[in-house]
Structure formats: structure tokens, C-alpha cells
């Protein structure tokens, strides 16, 4: 049975007061652009005129994909666990960016095809492994229903544990060789965008590799037989997803339920966000979209989510890097709302 989530849109009774507070700051109305929308969103989510960002965390969910063995990526599957080791050693881009932004970082083994040893011996690694990778979606559904439900549950447990510790901002990242293929199939299936327009180079495929990837994903879509644009989001997730995508979906749903602001990264994380929003549309109010990825399918996901990302830097690394880079903008939005003088307090004449 799917875990139960009770997500409600924030009460908008406070909106007029928040807008008035924003507009009375010592600046022309609207002069801080998207930062004003961010400040409004933070106040509505937290139901206060003085929102605070407390113990912000970024979770990187890692898992392997059976389809990686079919040749949908330029990199071998072993890179997934090797990159997890790099995260734990502190040497990856996401380590650098979270340190810069003041975000706590946790790495979650959702289903990596590797034995990392006893959890007690691996500081910073959370063992939530469902299985050592999904099945090959070229041949069968990527995961069974019971595996999907368990991944959603374990993701939800992680978000609820962080909320209980005081965290009210949760960012999302991922690692899994082959997961841009999953995200492309999910984008095609959930939005109806033609599959070839959803498929990008991922980890750096050349032209021949990209053509092969498109052909393989067309075969996978034909095998599943789902109607593009009409499929149930959890059926699509079971057919094409990875354990990291499913676990992120559960964490987003629980995070919104707990009233957390959700920092959404690029292509793969946005695929999880669309699944979560299709299941619980009110979740959209809690999402802050960090950046527009260079992966072509991301544009379709952002359009389906009516999302205006904060950054456009041609990133396509994943790991949560775009979410980490965007967090200081969220912090700036909250800071100006709380700390910037108004026309009255600064003794500045109004227009």
C-alpha cells in the first residue's frame, strides 16, 4: 500500500500582509524581482511575516539502474558507487557547493549495486538500500510495486526525521548512472512531449551514443505501452524510475506535509517533483526551483510544473548542485524581508 500523505496548500490569508511588508521596504515596488516572490513563498509556507531558514539540509539519493548495462550511458555502472565514495570523502562538486552555502549534506544509499560495509563504519552514509539497482526497464518494469512503496516510505522517513530535528529547508540531489534515461522516459510519459526531444547526452554521449540511447528508450517505451501524457505517475515511476527517484518523491511528499521548503535541482529531481505534484498538487506551493538544466527534457518538466527557475547556468551535473547554488538566493530573500529597512524606518520619502 502506498504511504499516506496529507498535504495542504498554505493558507493565503497572510498574503496581503506579506505583500504589504515587501512593498514597504525602501525600494521601488517589484525592484527585487524573483526575490520578492521567494520571500512571499517562504512567508506563506511558514505562515509568518518573519520566516526563518533553520538547519537546511541537502540529500543526495544514490542508486543504480539495470538499464545502464544496456548502454544508455557513456559511463560504466561502477561510477555510481565510486562517486558515492567521493561524496563521503568530501571531494565532489556538491561537497564544495554545500560548504559554500552552509547546507548540511547527507548521502543516502537508495539502491547502489555495491557493498559499502557496516553503516557504523561509514560516517555520512545513510543505508536505505531497497536492492542493488533496479531491473532493466528494456525488458521489464524497473521495480515491483512493493519496491516502489518501500522506496517512497524510506524517503518519507528521511524527510520526517530531518523535520523532527528542526530542519525546515530540504534540498534534493541524485546520483545514478543511467538516470537521465529514466528521467527522459518519465518526462515523455507524464508530459506527452515527444521522446526524442526528452533525451539528452546525459553524462556526455557522443552523437552515435545519443542515437543509440534514443533508440533504446523508444524500445522501452514501446514495451511498457503507457499512453504519453495520460499515465498514472506511480505506474510510470515503477516502469522507468530508479530507487533514488522514488525515494526523492517520497521525501518531497513528506517534506511538504511537514511544511518544509523544497529546493528542487535539475532534470532528474524535477522528474521526481512532477510525480509528487501529480499525486498531490498542493506540493507545488512548497517547491523552489533552483535552475534550468542543459538537458533538453528539463524544459518540458518545468513547463508542466509552471516553474520559473532561479538560475540558468547550463548545468547538467546533477548531485543537487543547482539546488545548492540557488540556496543563497532563498536566504537573501528571507533576509531582505526580515532585515531590510522600510521607507518609514529609514526615513526615506515614498513616491
Contact 168, 255 (CB under 8 A): no
Q: In what order do the strands lie in the sheet with 57-63?
A: 125-127, 104-111, 57-63, 169-175, 261-264, 287-289
Task: Assess whether 319 carries a catalytic annotation.
Answer: yes
Contact 1, 251 (CB under 8 A): no
**DSSP symbol at 311:** B
Nearest to 65 by CA among 177, 155, 184: 177
Distance CA 296, CA 25 (A): 39
Nearest to 170 by CA among 292, 233, 257: 257
In the block, cell 515596488 appears at 29
Q: b or e along 11-48 (b: 16 or more beta carbons within 10 Å of the residue's beta carbon)? A: eeebeeebeebbebbebeeeebeebbbbbbbbbbbbee
CA quadruple 67, 73, 76, 82: dihedral positive or negative? negative
Nearest to 327 by CA among 267, 282, 264, 285: 264
Distance CA 77, CA 71 (A): 10
- Nearest-Å Rg of the Cα atoms of the chain is 20
Number of helical (H) and strand (E) elements in the chain, helices listed first: 13, 6
Q: Which string of DSSP letters, residue by residue, matches 38-93?
A: HHHHHHHHHTSSS----S-EEEEEEE--GGGGGT-SSS-THHHHHHHHHHHHT-SH
Catalytic-labelled residue, pool 78, 257, 319, 344: 319
Q: Which residues are catalytic?
A: 319
Amino acid at each position: 500500500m502506498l504511504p499516506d500523505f496529507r498535504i495542504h496548500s498554505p493558507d493565503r490569508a497572510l498574503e496581503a500582509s506579506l505583500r504589504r511588508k515587501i512593498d514597504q521596504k525602501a525600494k521601488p515596488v517589484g525592484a527585487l524581482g524573483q526575490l520578492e516572490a521567494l520571500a512571499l513563498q517562504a512567508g506563506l509556507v511558514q505562515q509568518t511575516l518573519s520566516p526563518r531558514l533553520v538547519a537546511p539540509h541537502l540529500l543526495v539519493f544514490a542508486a543504480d539502474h539495470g538499464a545502464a548495462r544496456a548502454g544508455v550511458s557513456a559511463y560504466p555502472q561502477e561510477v555510481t558507487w565510486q562517486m558515492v565514495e567521493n561524496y563521503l570523502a568530501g571531494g565532489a562538486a556538491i561537497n564544495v557547493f554545500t560548504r559554500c552555502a552552509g547546507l548540511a549534506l547527507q548521502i543516502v544509499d537508495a539502491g547502489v549495486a555495491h557493498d559499502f560495509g557496516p553503516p557504523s563504519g561509514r560516517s555520512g552514509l545513510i543505508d536505505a538500500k531497497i536492492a542493488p539497482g533496479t531491473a532493466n526497464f528494456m525488458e521489464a518494469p524497473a521495480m515491483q510495486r512493493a519496491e516502489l512503496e518501500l522506496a517512497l516510505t524510506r524517503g518519507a522517513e528521511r524527510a520526517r526525521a530531518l523535520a523532527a530535528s528542526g530542519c525546515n529547508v530540504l534540498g534534493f540531489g541524485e546520483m545514478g548512472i543511467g538516470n537521465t534515461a529514466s528521467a527522459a522516459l518519465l518526462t515523455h510519459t507524464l508530459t506527452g512531449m515527444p521522446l526524442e526531444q526528452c533525451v539528452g547526452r546525459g553524462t556526455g554521449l557522443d552523437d552515435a551514443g545519443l542515437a543509440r540511447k534514443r533508440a533504446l528508450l523508444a524500445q522501452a517505451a514501446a514495451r511498457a505501452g503507457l499512453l504519453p501524457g495520460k499515465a498514472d505517475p506511480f505506474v510510470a515511476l515503477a516502469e522507468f524510475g530508479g530507487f533514488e527517484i522514488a525515494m526523492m518523491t517520497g521525501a518531497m511528499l513528506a517534506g511538504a506535509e511537514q511544511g518544509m521548503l523544497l529546493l528542487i535541482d535539475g532534470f532528474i529531481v524535477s522528474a521526481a517533483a512532477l510525480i509528487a505534484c501529480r499525486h498531490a498538487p498542493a506540493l507545488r506551493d512548497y517547491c523552489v526551483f533552483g535552475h534550468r538544466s542543459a538537458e533538453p527534457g528539463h524544459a518540458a518538466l518545468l513547463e508542466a510544473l509552471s516553474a520559473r527557475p532561479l538560475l540558468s547556468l547550463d548545468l547538467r551535473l546533477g548531485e543537487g548542485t543547482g539546488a545548492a547554488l540557488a540556496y543563497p538566493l532563498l536566504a537573501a530573500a528571507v533576509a531582505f524581508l526580515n532585515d531590510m529597512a522600510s521607507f518609514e524606518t529609514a526615513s526615506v520619502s515614498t513616491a
